[in-house]
Amino acid sequence: MLRNALLYLSSQPQVFKFVRQNSMAKSFASRFVAGETLDTALAAVKDLNSKGITATLDLLGESVRNEAEARESARQYLEMMSEIRARKLDANASVKLTAMGLDISEDLCVSNMQNILDRARDYQTFVRLDMEGSDYTSKTLDLFYERLYPSYRGNVGIVLQSYLYRTTSDVEQANKAGARVRLCKGAYKEPATVAYPDKKDVDESYVRCLKLLLTNGHYPGIATHDEAIVDQAKRFARENDIGADNFEFQMLYGVRRDLQEKLVKEGYRMRVYVPYGTQWYPYLMRRLAERPANVAFITGNVIKEMVGRSKA
């Protein structure tokens, strides 16, 4: 019931209009979304960089409705990358293929991605293909390996989600190909036919995959806010003489900022995923709808951070 309610509210423009004018709602959103414009997002990146934290920028807005919208999304990514370079910021980009037109035409999507990756290659920077729901997993990986990675090996990577049964084999494929992987748990609501329904199994899969990535991977991104898993990754790396410069931890903007800064002080690399754009309201509502437990997760982490800071 909660999921259906959140999804309904996410699609109501009158609610969005009200929320955008509500100071409390905007204040809550501003913790997890770096504003509505590229300038506000770049200001957030500058602040993160000043703390020794790198970033990856994501322009909010997923599936587009027509070719013009897809090409406009690609243009905004090109502008983003140019501004990152002009302002000498330490950041790269994350892109959802549905925002590039995957649901309209694979050729359109590839054309947009090639334009973005051409610029990434010219600028010697990096673009990550975000992973979406399980309906897109095979499509995304096929397009990545068959049409993008061969020409842009040093400039493009992928995301894999530990809650899917298939992910261990996907990690092994990525390691063999030399592809860079961001490993996350996964936030979409998936059926038990494709994903582990229990958190314990998701966590075990995550740890299994991170060990494969740390041992045989290529500068993996360990994307988690789970402090127990962070500690396991640190211990495994230490016990296997894997240097801290061979991987990085990744977290979401506004979540566990205390842990982000702690890891940097300990000498680990940290990258923060920074979403921005006018679609912040449906973005937040959909994320909560995909897994209503995220409400408690986010609230719990905010409280944990506040307690930690009060003791510092």
- State the catalytic residues: 130, 182
Residue of 222, 235, 136, 211 whose CA lies nearest to 183: 222
Amino acid sitting at position 282:
P
Q: Which residues of 235-259 are buried (b: 16+ CB within 10 A; e: fewer)?
A: eebeeeeeeeeebbbbbbbbbbbeb
Sequence-separated (6 or more) residues with CB below 8 Å from residue 224: 183, 184, 185, 206, 230, 249, 250, 251
Residue of 103, 41, 105, 48 whose CA lies nearest to 77: 41
Q: End-to-end distance of the chain based on CA atoms, in angstroms?
A: 40
Residue 112 in tokens: 């947009």
Going by their DSSP bridges, the two strands 156-161 and 127-129 should be labelled as parallel
CB of 264 within 8 A of CB of 270? yes
The rounded distance, in Å, linking the Cα atoms of 268 and 277 is 29
Distances (CA, A) of 221 to 171, 213, 268: 12, 9, 12
The rounded distance, in Å, linking the Cα atoms of 162 and 205 is 6
The rounded distance, in Å, linking the Cα atoms of 28 and 143 is 36
Residue of 64, 51, 61, 139 whose CA lies nearest to 90: 51
